[in-house]
Structure 1
Amino acid sequence: MRGTSLAAAATWLALASPAHAQPRPLSGSGSSGLGSGSISRPGILSGSDVAEGASGGADSSPVRLGDFGLPFGSAVDTGADAGQQRGWNIVPSLGISQLATDNINQTRRNKQAEFVTSITPGVLVTMDTARAQGVVSYDPSYRYYANGTSQSGVDHNFNGQVLLTLVPEFLFLDLRGSASRQAAGGGYNQGGENTTSRDNTIQTTSFQISPYILQRFGGTANLQLGYAFQSVTQDSRDNTVLLGPNGLPYFQDQDFTAHEFYAVVRSGEEFGRLALEGRLISTDYIGTGVLDGAYRRTAAVEGRYAINRFVSALGEIGFEEQRYSGLPPFELSEAIWSVGTRLTFSEDSWVTVRYGHHDGFNSVQAEGTVGLGVRTRLYGSYGERIGTGAQRAADLLTNTTLDDLGNPVDRNTGGPIVQPFANSLLGVQSSVMRTRTGTATISQGWDRDTFSLTLLREERTPVSVDPGTFTEPTSGNSASFTWSHSLSPSTSTSLSLQYGTYESARFGDGNVYSVQASLFSELKPGLVGSLQLISSSRSNQASFDRSRFDRFGDNSSGRALQNTIIAGLRQTF
């Protein structure tokens, strides 16, 4: 319990600080019981879920039904251990931290020192019973800015995924949500909340409620019918965000609700080496800007054939319709297809590669996780998708599971996730974008040391402009290295190095790097103290006079340096 208390409190303390610039630490490889082997829109099943969650039997199929790679994820399995009453665990906490920085806006000119006091209550709830399984982590933070008092306010950090069994082996209710903030104008390290003024941030909040039924027809097939209600809000808090060269903003507040109906049929173990899946998905959006009257609809059949225990052939054919209300309006109605292969090296080491036609273009999709010896693991993924930032926030809810501290991890690979609505490297835009994202993480764990290296590449190309805004293509690369070391059972340290580059058609090219050293110590049972030292620097090669469009008036090329100290205490109860 002592180690758990320290880990949880250290995580919360780091998140309470505006300068938190590294992913929340994972408690393991991402297969912590919640979401282990699960897949799909709330509840679309993987092979292990079909066997255990739906029927209580063993899966005799030589291939796993969860290998299709649907764009959905299930927070928890459907009751493999339903007979075990492990109960609820509720851990409340209260934290306070003091931040001091010499350049709150991280500008080359007009530097402003700032002192920020944060008060952060928190609660971590885990549940594992016959009727409820899930994790909820919520830690809102009230930040008081000593000099810019108008910046003071509450920021929300939240992750939660809960599966309720209403009728055993038949009717389920999936609840999930997430909230975080990011720098509106970009140019900061990608890993979450950086030290910046509050009027340079966007708060994103997303929720989803999905009831569904699940029916198994012996070893022949499994049927799932469901509905999902989604709600997403991206709020600039009535502040003026960065303006483009024509005086129009890159972003305006965006919110939507969505109604999604889905049906999925998957073949059972009687098909042996062959696994088939048919799906119908229809999502209609009611929202602002490009999402006013938008929709996504897909009908497809996907198959996989296990050539042997190491190699499977993948294929898909179907039809899709999409619509967005931007300028010009984006509409497509056409066939989709893909072919690919899955290489399985062991139960927890595999790589899947597909090439196909989706969203109106041909592209490659790849993901995988490979164990490199006992202590080292490699995660990777690459994909392309059309959509808005608000839609990506909703999609993230169905593409991730949570570890036992409430941190999001990839539902397929178990790798850490950089949330798109907490990625501050590229600026926020509310138009429809074609986004290419590639990421790779290698981690190594020892008894007292953990090392992690993450590489990220992202490209955004405008497809349809949100009326009343300006848009442009952007791209960025980043690398982050983190070393965590346990000095004693009650004291740990970490060192994080991050470097990123970004390219903008109008604002030119730039780069950003930071160094962060942290110390966490359990002063007495349940009370953790922290000290963080951060130094961050970014450059910009401005291609025009930014002073006309940048609210900070930083119109010159050059490098801006920011130094920050954060001291904090958190008591868990």
Structure 2
Amino acid sequence: MRAEAAGPLPATRPVVLGTVIGMTLALASPARAEPSLSALDAPSLTTGAGVPEVGGDLAPSGDASGVPGPSGPFALPPTANTGLIRLDAPDFPYGALAPPPGEPGRGWNVTPSLGLQLLATDNLDLSRRNKRSDFVTSIIPGLLLSMDTARIRGIINYAPSIQFHTAEGERNRVDQRFNGQVLLTVVPDEVFLDIRGSGATQAASGGYAQQGNTVLGRDNRIQTNTVQISPYFVHRFGGLATVQVGYAFTAVQQDLGSNGFGGGANSGAFTPSGQRYFTDQDFTANEIYAIGRTGEDFGPLALESRLAATSYNGTGVLDGAYRRIASMQARYAITHSILALVEGGFEQQRYAGVPGIEISEPVWAFGGRVNFSPESWIMAKYGHRDGFNSATVDAVIALGGRTQLFANYAERLTTGAQRAVDLLSTTTLDEYGNPVDAATGAPSAQPLTDSLLGVQGSLFRIRRGAVSVSQSWPRDRISLTLSREERTPVSIQVGTAAFSQRGTSASLSWAHELTPATTAIGNFQYGRFTTPGAGKGDVLSASLTLATQLRRGLSAFAQYAVTSSRDDFVSGRALQNVVLVGLRQTF
């Protein structure tokens, strides 16, 4: 679930009201997000504790942060958010935001809030045979902290949900939900400290609507907490080159059935046939890296070299694992709008599990980018990495003045716990602390809140693609999203079973401003899946929400949602009705 907004709410923005009620809707962010931490244009996927693959686009020249980007093929059109400064790299920790030297910031803004939600359901577990009603009271304290000074910039949104069940008291729990990204300038223009973190929950079994107010018992809920700290040094040699050296420490914890603070009591998640497919996961990662890039003196040609080494200390397939890569990329600006790239290098990877995985082989890729306008572009490449050939695509295309299309596709060799780090590295935060895709500016489909597929602890090759179209009008916003994800096990955690999974989903969202203070939001989701907790099946979910601002700082909402699902293990369909009302007061 998307973190809730905690600040005073402009009554005229249905986008904000959608955020207040904590709904994960595609309409809950602007068509072209203007994140408060960075204005990154096209990052690549990460490869470990935060090292991005070669191929991310870099910032324009003349960056006032002291790390100017080149004026040749790495230069990008300026983003709409002109008040932001971009460092000379596309993604974390290289793309962190820094204030211009000597420029005074806007200071600190602390917005506490308190929310109350009342939920009634006639089928707590979305069951076909054992329907149980319950009434759930949730208390949601919130703290939205934004910082913008000459030395520190960032945003932190912490909104834990404390839940009390009337009929099922043993299910009382605390869901930790937070997002934060903070950059400290230690030495102006040279030394920085980047700190990031997130916390979210999802269904262990899968078989639920992709995003939304999923009602889960404690024994079927996985809490994922991630923290990453990276100090780094940057130095520019005039227009010749820029060098960056850094270190990143990462800690990730995934707990099943915990009370929100770790230490889950369960021994794992099991299929109805008794096969265990998930046990609690945790790891720490230590990474060192060095990057060198040519500057504007090279004209239309740009070169970039990267060295990175990440070692893991954790459970399951990450016990003693490592990732190491050395690569070189060359880009050439054929025209002002067309860029070509080629890259090569060598990688080594190791994972525990059955079978043990060791990769030691060359990596390569070729591709390019086409800029249609400052707000419309496509970047694609094809290459060999992680032991297989694959393609990567990121695109945002303006279809007229009111319609935008977002698209992305990528393949990864990764685990569920490592995807938590990828989320930190490939997203930035909007003004309310909600993650948005740093490549396209689209609302982020967080893998740690997606409950369509089950959560497994093994190593997988994951293919994921998504296309969304959004249209904005003065009083309406409509979004349609289609996505597909396939997971193939590569190395199985000892003591568990691993299963291939597939999921195809579609969602349609529509927000309509009824009055300057009141907005109606409709959401429809449908997904087909194969997942270890439910076999093959499908799930359909629809909701209607009315959100209003009662007075400055006080908002209210009411929602009705219905979910219908089926799977292979029990015949028939399960039906769940949910009524949810809530209040939130900001101070």
TM-score (norm 2): 0.89
Superposed displacement of residue 244, structure 1: 3.8
Change (3 A) 1:335 1:84: same
Match of 2:581 in 1: 567
After alignment, is 196-205 or 28-37 more displaced?
28-37
- Counterpart pick for 1:26 among 24, 29, 39: 29
- Counterpart pick for 1:146 among 166, 190, 195: 166
Superposed displacement of residue 49, structure 1: 6.1
Match of 1:48 in 2: 59
Q: Is the Cα contact below 8 Å between 1:49 and 1:77 reproduced in 2?
A: no
Change (3 A) 1:59 1:266: closer
Q: Distance in 1 between matches of 2:268 and 2:522?
A: 32
Identity %: 46
Q: Is the Cα contact below 8 Å between 1:116 and 1:146 reproduced in 2?
A: yes
Q: Distance in 2 between matches of 1:63 and 1:74?
A: 15
Change (3 A) 1:467 1:50: farther
Superposed displacement of residue 48, structure 1: 3.1
Q: Distance in 1 between matches of 2:68 and 2:488?
A: 47
- Counterpart pick for 1:403 among 430, 433, 439: 430
- Counterpart pick for 2:190 among 170, 173, 182: 170
Match of 1:487 in 2: 514
Change (3 A) 1:162 1:4: farther
- Counterpart pick for 2:10 among 3, 9, 20: 3
After alignment, is 69-78 or 431-440 more displaced?
69-78
Q: Distance in 2 between matches of 1:483 and 1:114?
A: 29
C-alpha distance after superposition, 1:147-194 (max 9, x if no partner): 110110110111111111111100000010000000110011111541
Change (3 A) 1:100 1:24: farther
Alignment partner of 1:322 is 2:322: no
Alignment partner of 1:102 is 2:122: yes
Match of 1:371 in 2: 398
Alignment partner of 1:118 is 2:121: no
Superposed displacement of residue 14, structure 1: 2.4
Q: Distance in 2 between matches of 1:349 and 1:146?
A: 51
Superposed, which structure 2 residues align to 1:99-498 within 5 Å?
99-236=119-256, 237=258, 238-239=265-266, 241-244=268-271, 247-498=274-525
Aligned-partner SS, 1:421: coil
C-alpha distance after superposition, 1:81-100 (max 9, x if no partner): 85142112111100011000
1:561 is matched by which residue type in structure 2?
Answer: L
Match of 1:552 in 2: none
Q: Is the Cα contact below 8 Å between 2:454 and 2:531 reproduced in 1?
A: no
Aligned-partner SS, 2:448: helix
After alignment, is 414-423 or 25-34 more displaced?
25-34
Superposed, which structure 2 residues align to 1:37-76 within 5 Å?
37=40, 47-48=58-59, 51-55=62-66, 60-61=71-72, 63-64=74-75, 72=92, 76=96
After alignment, is 60-69 or 205-214 more displaced?
60-69
Q: Distance in 1 between matches of 2:30 and 2:372?
A: 25
Structure 1 or 2: more helix by fraction: 1
Q: Is the Cα contact below 8 Å between 1:460 and 1:473 reproduced in 2?
A: yes
Aligned-partner SS, 2:278: coil
Q: Is the Cα contact below 8 Å between 1:53 and 1:77 reproduced in 2?
A: no
Superposed displacement of residue 346, structure 1: 1.2
Work out the number of aligned pairs and report it.
Answer: 556
- Counterpart pick for 2:562 among 532, 535, 541: 535
Superposed displacement of residue 67, structure 1: 13
Q: Distance in 2 between matches of 1:9 and 1:499?
A: 25
Q: Is the Cα contact below 8 Å between 1:284 and 1:293 reproduced in 2?
A: yes
2:198 is matched by which residue type in structure 1?
Answer: S
Superposed displacement of residue 10, structure 1: 3.9
After alignment, is 34-43 or 478-487 more displaced?
34-43
After alignment, is 305-314 or 116-125 more displaced?
305-314
Change (3 A) 1:471 1:2: closer
Q: Distance in 1 between matches of 2:335 and 2:582?
A: 55
Q: Is the Cα contact below 8 Å between 2:344 and 2:363 reproduced in 1?
A: yes
Change (3 A) 1:24 1:149: farther
Change (3 A) 1:92 1:152: same
Change (3 A) 1:269 1:193: farther
Q: Distance in 1 between matches of 2:88 and 2:65?
A: 19
Q: Distance in 1 between matches of 2:88 and 2:450?
A: 28
Q: Is the Cα contact below 8 Å between 1:23 and 1:192 reproduced in 2?
A: no
Change (3 A) 1:506 1:117: closer
Q: Is the Cα contact below 8 Å between 1:496 and 1:517 reproduced in 2?
A: yes
1:79 is matched by which residue type in structure 2?
Answer: P
Q: Distance in 1 between matches of 2:405 and 2:21?
A: 25
2:10 is matched by which residue type in structure 1?
Answer: G
After alignment, is 234-243 or 224-233 more displaced?
234-243
Q: Please report the RMSD computed on the Cα atoms of aligned residues, expressed in angstroms.
A: 2.5
Change (3 A) 1:457 1:68: farther
Match of 1:547 in 2: none
1:36 is matched by which residue type in structure 2?
Answer: A
Q: Is the Cα contact below 8 Å between 2:72 and 2:333 reproduced in 1?
A: no
Q: Distance in 1 between matches of 2:565 and 2:292?
A: 51
Aligned-partner SS, 1:290: helix
Superposed displacement of residue 528, structure 1: 0.7
Superposed displacement of residue 134, structure 1: 1.2
Alignment partner of 1:557 is 2:571: yes
- Counterpart pick for 1:14 among 1, 18, 21: 21
After alignment, is 240-249 or 389-398 more displaced?
240-249
Which consecutive residues of structure 1, in runs of 5 or more, have no partner in the other structure? 543-555
Match of 1:549 in 2: none
Change (3 A) 1:467 1:42: closer
Change (3 A) 1:86 1:67: closer
Q: Is the Cα contact below 8 Å between 1:145 and 1:151 reproduced in 2?
A: yes
Change (3 A) 1:129 1:7: farther
1:3 is matched by which residue type in structure 2?
Answer: P
Q: Is the Cα contact below 8 Å between 1:516 and 1:532 reproduced in 2?
A: yes
Which consecutive residues of structure 2, in runs of 5 or more, have no partner in the other structure? 1-7, 45-49, 77-85, 259-264
Change (3 A) 1:203 1:536: same
Change (3 A) 1:501 1:367: same
2:37 is matched by which residue type in structure 1?
Answer: L
